[in-house]
Each structure stands twice: as structure tokens, then as C-alpha cells.
Structure 1
Amino acid sequence: MPGIRVLIATVPERMGLLRRALASVCAQTMAPNSVVIVCDRGLKPADAMATIDLVLEDPHWLMNQGPSGAANAWNTGIDYIAKHWPDDYLAILDDDDTWDSEHLAGCLSIAARGDWPDLVISGIRAWVDGIEQPREPIRSLLVSDFLVGNPGWQGSNTFIRIATLLRAGCFTPGLASCNDRDLAIRVLSLEGLRSAFTARHTVNWFHERGRACLSSVGSDDKLSGLTRFYQLHGWRMTSEHERRFFARAKELFGLPRDLILQHLKELGHAL
């Protein structure tokens, strides 16, 4: 039976959030085989360890081996896990999210029933300023869904075979946001991919509008991420996909089409 390796990336200002995330890992009815925590933005493992008062079974503390950013931090952890446990499942948890206590057990149970698929996706609850936003658990995935937005596969409900993740190319280095959508498109494009769904919400995604994050309205990171995403995947989009992509960027993040295209032109010159 494949093991479960948990991966969390974190930064200095999120130690309180990391404690909450780790508490949900410790509360799992099925404990993971190991937990890998990658420190980013100059955070040293020794400093992070000193702030975490939870006892984990043999945690592995790493430093981001590439330029600062979530994608490179995750890739550092994936490289480490692939070298040590290449046949297992990887479960990612964002440092500001939590899992229900049965999350890992539920994912592994579905995986066993499905003869160990490449990917198991659970439902993810969205909490905005402490209020749950009702939505149905995801039960299917298409590449086209992610060209426009995200139907419900994010970092914290990623439960994927490590070999499958490596085959997809892991995370795109330097992508400031849209990492989940970019990865989903590449994974779902793999030939012969087998996926399964728990059809249950066991992940909690928290968004506080007053807290800075990659999805903050009008942020430079969001502009950079959307522009780079369009550069990578715009060729896949129909005219309707493009219309909806730019409309969503303006409605949710305050980033108009002309600004993204201007940034794309500047990015092209920089490359």
C-alpha cells in the first residue's frame, strides 16, 4: 500500500497559521508517514522549529533551494520526497488551510477502492471572513475548467502520486499565482491519467480579505501570475474562454484586460 507524505511550505510571517495547519495534521485519524515542511523567504528551519510547539513524528525541515516563492518551495519538497519515497502519495497542505480529521484516511480509502489512481480530489470548503460559502464537492475535472477559473482543485486538496506529479513537471518556477490552475492543466493533460473523487468536503480554505495573499485584489503578484498563466495557456483558449478569463480577472481581482496584455508585452520584452 502506498504511503502518504505531507508537504507544507511556509514563510516567516505565517507561524501562527502554520501552527493551526499542523494541528489539523496531528489530528488525522490516519497519520501520514512523514511531514515535510519547506521554509521560504529567508526563514531558517531552526527558527521555524522554535516557534512550533506541536510534536510531530519525525518532521523533515527544509529550506527552499530555489528563488523565493511558493512554486520553488513546493518543488524543493517534492524533489526531497521523490528521492526518498517515489512510490507514495503526496498530500499538500497550504500553511493557512486545515484538514478535517478524516481527510487523509478518506483519500487513501478512495484510492484503495480505485486501484490506486494517479489523483484523488476531495471537496474543499471556502471560508471568507469566517463565513462558509456553500458549494458542492467537486466530482469531475476538465482542462477547460481551469482555463477560466478554478472549479475546486487547489493546493490543500491535492492528493497525487509522486510519480504522476513528476511526469507533469511539478510546479512552474517563478509563477507568482495561479499555481494550482497551471498544475491542474498539465496533470489533466497527461495520457492515461486516472483520477478519483471523495465527493466530501474535508479541506478548509480560509480567505480573510484583510490579510495579504497571492489572491489579493489588484496585487502585483496576482497581475504577474495571471499574465504568466495567459502566456503559458492562452493558446489553449477559445474566444469564449478568453472572454471569461479576462472578465473574471477584472471582477475578482480588479485587473482589466488591457493591463494584463500590457504586462504580457513587457514580459515578452524581458524574456
Structure 2
Amino acid sequence: MGSKTFGVIGLGSVGWAVIHGLSPWYPYAGYDIMGTYSWGNILATDIVFICVSTPSHKNGRLDCSAVYEVLVRLNNDHYTGRIVIKSTLLVGFMDRMVARFPALHLLYMPEFLRERSSFTWFTNPDRLVVSGTDDDVREVLSYFTWVDPHVPILHMSYISAEIGKLAHNAYIATKVSFTNEMEAICSEYGADAYDVMSTIWADRRVHSQEHLTPYLGPYGGKCVPKDTQELLHSGKKRTLLTAVEAVNAQSTAKKAEHKQPALITIIPTHNRPKCLDRALASIREQKKVPDRVYIVIDKDDPSYHAVETIVARSDRCLPSTLLKNIRSHNLSGAVNTALEQASDDFHDANMVFVSILDDDDWWDRSYLANVYKFAQETKADWIISGLIRHSDPLRPGIMQPIPVQITQNMFYVTNPNIQGSNLFVRLSDLINIGGFDEELISTTDRDVCIRLLDAGTVPATLYNHLVHHDADNTRSRLSSAGSEKKSAGLRYFYRKYSSRMNLSERDAFKMRSLDLFHVSISEEI
């Protein structure tokens, strides 16, 4: 990972996509007005990307006030790094900002992402458009050396980049309205709209059927309508765009035909009601709320009645179910109890994603929305994302490294920062491997990942640090050094997998068990 750093202001679809693409190469800091993020960390970065929203005014023009407010704040704090604006802008906005803030190094680098595929489109762009001084552009592009060298880099003026971004989405709007107009003509004469459009798709000058497919309805989403409106109202009469808007207004919206996967969350809990309350609060704040939350507890747990009260209160905002653990009285038994219930509640296990949250951990408000979206973008069976480790409640958490590749042997010696709370997996895959191993009292997450890989499932890595892991050693935890449960778990894990380890892996496992957890592992095990 390089010594350069970057910051992202505005943690929406674009902001998290920027982090996903750049964070494997450079350390980062994120900031958003929603959530608990440090502005001071942003000021310490070498380059900052502004990805805040620029919604449409009633008059059709873009509202860039959020961008302006960020620039004022950076200027007042004497930020000296490069500032790259990725938000879509009013025509002429950059020239005004350069004149208004002469001390700032301002660049415009519009983003051309598909809303439903922002992560994968950022890492595989069609082009890089950038405007600014030669020195600033050169420095910013040094952060993108990982991009395929065949991707064109288009260095242009601010005004050209602003109009180019808007023109791109206006062109998409034009294609959609053209298709809807052809669909209407076909309906009038009894022609087959697919046959008609196939004559266009076959032309060598048409590279994609995207936006030229009948019966998809009018254009919509967050960007295409407002960007088209900005061009439409930016000056003199726009004859073509006026027609594009008119066709879109009279086009009938179509109902979505694709069934979306369901999303469930499982929280095993044991005598930690205050921690559970925090975990549930983080779920209530999610941008995407799960379809069902299963809280699982042993019936003889001393906090059972307190947990009942917490779940009843939470059920007003979340679809929650409190389950009594009917299997082994450990984390694996609790998870399997919920998996069994979920199998009854959702008949197509292949269309359900499972998110697990340890009761003493919590999620960033973007976690479920981002991993859910990324799973559908990549078609992966399970997703892992980054952990933020909190070992001292008085200090900020520390971002843990995220593995680039996920293989069985990486779990033999240690845990590569994959735990229940950052594991997002298809329900059918968990069922197919028999759920969690109930003989394992600890080290369960490593075992599940090994068996998922053995079963041929496909993982994918989302480079967003979205999961807060409570590693406070001032209280008793499952992984506390010398704990009986940790000792039993490590010894069982070694018996199960030592035959697959090479000599150096076996020695490293024993040394780590002794040094970190005071557990001696012998070959007789």
C-alpha cells in the first residue's frame, strides 16, 4: 500500500465506490454529515474527493450548495492538498470556484457510474475525464495507475468536462425516449417492437442494446433526469432535449419484473443487553433495513427478560423475532437455530442473503446497502468487507487490512480479519455446508469460511470499512487469553484441520495459540 493518502467527502454511491477502488492501494479517510466521521482526518490527507449530492432545483438547475459549503470549509481550514470534485455540476460552476478560492488546488473529475453497478464500474471505467492544471492533473492521475492502460484519459477544460458529464446522461435519456417513441409507433401499427429495434442493434455503429430495449419504461434514477434537466434549462431553447423530456413524460412506467433477494440479519446474544441495544440501533439506522432480524438467546440466559424488552421495543422499527436457542448452547448453535427458522420463513434459500452481527459489534449505516448491492453486482455467493477494531473505547478505531484474495490456507494459522459481523452470505450456501459447526465453541468464523470455499462458493471483497468490531479487553470476551472456550475451540480446530496444514503452518498455529491466548497445542490432540 502506498504512502499517499486520500479522503472522501460524501459517503453515498459514488463516495463508497471511490473508496472501494482506491483503498486497496492507498490509506483513506471518509467523511459524511451523517454518521460519526472525523473532519480532522480529512484535513490530514494528500488528496480529497468531493462526492456530495447536487439535487435538482424546481427551476431545473442543479443545486451545488453542498459542494460550495465543502469548499468553504476546506478553504477556511487551509487545506493544501488537491481537491477533486466528482459531483455533477452546474455549467460554469468550476470557473467560478477557481476564481472564488484561488488558494485551493481544484480539479473536476466527473464520475460515469451506472447506479446499480457503481463499485464494479469504478474499478473498470470506460474513460477518465479530468480538468485542472497540468501539475494537479498529473498528481491526481498518479492515484489511478491501476486502471487498464487502454482506458482513454481525457484532459479538458472545466466547462467541457461539466457539459460532457451532463451530455452523457442526456444522451442516455435521448436513447430511452427514442426507444419509447418507436415502441409507441410499433403499437400503433401492430409491429413487433423487438423486431424493429433488432434492426438497430445489428448496426456496427451501435455498440450496445443498453437503453435501446423496448418495454423498459421511461428513464429515471438519481442522475439521468436531473442532468438532462440541467442542460435543458442552462441557456437557450433546447429543441431536442425538450422533445426527449416530452416523450419521457408520456411514457408509461413499467413494473419491475425481477424479484430482489431477501435480506436477513442474525444476532446471537449472551448476557450483554447493553451491547445488543447498540447493535440493534445500528441496524435501525441502516440505509437498507433487513427483511427480518433474528435475535437468538439461550432460554436460561440471565439477561433473557431484558433482551425480551429490548427486542419488543426494537420491533416497532424493525421486523424482529426473538428465538430461543434450541441447539448447542454456543454461538454456532444460536446461528443454526436462526438458519433453521429462516429456512421455514423464506422458501427460496437461494434468494436470501444472511448478515450476521455479533451482539457486541455494530455496523456503519451504509453496510447492508453496500454489501447487498455489491453481491448483486459481482454475482458472488458471499461478501466480506473491512473491520474497524475498537480496543480502547477512548480512542478511534483502527481500520484492519482487507484480504485481496480469499483461500482456505489463509485461515489455517490466523484470522485474516473475517468474522461473523463482516460475513455476508447466501442462505442456501450456509444450509448446504450444514451451517456452523456446533462442536466448535470458538474459531467458528474461520471454519465456516474454509467450508464455504471447499463447497466451491465464490467470495468477493468489498473494500469498504463498514463493520465496527468491539475488541475491548477490559471485559470478558470469547477470545480473551486463557478462556476455556477459546482453548477448546483452538484445540478442536487444530484436530480438524492440522492434516491439511504444512509443517510451518502447524508450528505457526501452535506459536500463535500460545503467545496470544496462552493455549498449548500438542500433536496428541
Give the TM-score of the pair, scaled to structure 2: 0.47
Residue aligned with 2:317, SS: coil
Q: In structure 2, how many angstroms separate the alpha carbons of the residues matched to 1:176 and 1:27?
A: 31
Q: Does 1:255 align with 2:516?
A: no
- 1:84 CA displacement: 1.7
The amino acid that maps onto 1:253 is F
Q: Which residue of 1 aligns with 2:321?
A: 60
Q: In structure 2, how many angstroms separate the alpha carbons of the residues matched to 1:241 and 1:63?
A: 39
Q: Which residue of 2 aligns with 1:124?
A: 387
| Change beyond 3 A, Cα 1:246–1:174 | same
Q: How does 1:15-94 map to 2 (within 5 A)?
A: 15-40=273-298, 42-43=300-301, 47-52=306-311, 53-54=313-314, 55-85=316-346, 86=349, 87-94=351-358
Q: Which has the higher contact order (CA 8 A, sep 6+)?
A: 1
- 1:45 CA displacement: 6.0
Q: In structure 2, how many angstroms separate the alpha carbons of the residues matched to 1:8 and 1:27?
A: 16
Q: How does 1:1-271 map to 2 (within 5 A)?
A: 1-11=260-270, 13-40=271-298, 42-43=300-301, 47-52=306-311, 53-54=313-314, 55-85=316-346, 86=349, 87-115=351-379, 117-130=380-393, 131=395, 132-191=397-456, 193-258=457-522, 261=523, 264=525
| Change beyond 3 A, Cα 1:186–1:228 | same
Please give the per-residue CA displacement for 1:193-218, whole angstroms capped at 9, x wherever unaligned. Answer: 22211111000111111211110101
- 1:63 CA displacement: 0.3
The amino acid that maps onto 2:479 is S
Residue aligned with 2:428, SS: helix
- 1:25 CA displacement: 0.3
Mind listing any 5+ residue stretches in structure 1 that lack a counterpart?
265-271
Q: In structure 1, how many angstroms separate the alpha carbons of the residues matched to 2:462 and 2:445?
A: 19
Residue aligned with 2:435, SS: coil
Q: In structure 2, how many angstroms separate the alpha carbons of the residues matched to 1:106 and 1:139?
A: 18
Residues 391, 473 of structure 2: 8 Å contact kept: yes
The amino acid that maps onto 2:451 is R
Residue aligned with 1:122, SS: strand
The amino acid that maps onto 2:388 is R
Residues 72, 173 of structure 1: 8 Å contact kept: yes
Kindly report the root-mean-square deviation, in angstroms, between the aligned alpha carbons of the 2 structures. 1.7
Residues 249, 256 of structure 1: 8 Å contact kept: yes
Residues 10, 37 of structure 1: 8 Å contact kept: yes
Residues 299, 324 of structure 2: 8 Å contact kept: no
**Equivalent residue pairs, number:** 258
Residue aligned with 1:151, SS: coil
Please give the per-residue CA displacement for 1:214-235, whole angstroms capped at 9, x wherever unaligned. Answer: 1010111111000100111111
Residues 45, 62 of structure 1: 8 Å contact kept: no
Please give the per-residue CA displacement for 1:14-56, whole angstroms capped at 9, x wherever unaligned. Answer: 0000000000000000111111111126138655221454333
Mind listing any 5+ residue stretches in structure 2 that lack a counterpart?
1-259
Structure 1 residue ranges, 4+ long, deviating more than 4 angstroms after superposition = 44-47
Please give the per-residue CA displacement for 1:89-108, whole angstroms capped at 9, x wherever unaligned. Answer: 00000000000000000001
Q: In structure 2, how many angstroms separate the alpha carbons of the residues matched to 1:37 and 1:101?
A: 19
Greater per-residue strand proportion: 1
Instruction: State the structure with more CA Rg.
Output: 2
- 1:256 CA displacement: 2.6
Q: In structure 1, how many angstroms separate the alpha carbons of the residues matched to 2:427 and 2:336?
A: 12
Residue aligned with 1:143, SS: coil
Residues 402, 416 of structure 2: 8 Å contact kept: no
Deviates most, 43-52 or 249-258: 43-52
Deviates most, 248-257 or 153-162: 248-257
Residues 478, 486 of structure 2: 8 Å contact kept: yes
- 1:9 CA displacement: 0.8
Q: In structure 2, how many angstroms separate the alpha carbons of the residues matched to 1:237 and 1:60?
A: 41
Residue aligned with 2:411, SS: helix
The amino acid that maps onto 2:293 is V
Residue aligned with 2:275, SS: helix
Q: Sequence identity, in percent?
A: 30
